[in-house]
Amino acid sequence: MNDDRLIETGALALYRSENAHRIQEFARLSNAEQVIAGDFETCRNKYVRKFQDILTNFDALGLSVVRAA
């Protein structure tokens, strides 16, 4: 997985983690994934920056984030 895809996937996972209560509310809707995607887009840059910061801090500690196969 290239870095951009990892960052995008990580940002979405971080968004879902930090907004679990909203995700639960959205899950009740018939178009839940569309609503979640739209909500994520409104704050996408914030979560991309946060995830990039996490990766930078992990790298400084000698850790890395990889996607399991």
Looking at residue 67, its pLDDT comes to 78
Looking at residue 69, its pLDDT comes to 67
Looking at residue 22, its pLDDT comes to 94
69 residues of the chain, pLDDT tens digit each: 568 889 999 999 999 999 999 999 999 999 999 999 999 999 999 999 999 999 999 999 999 988 776
- 41 vs 5, 24, 35, 50, 54, CA distance in Å? 15, 18, 10, 15, 20
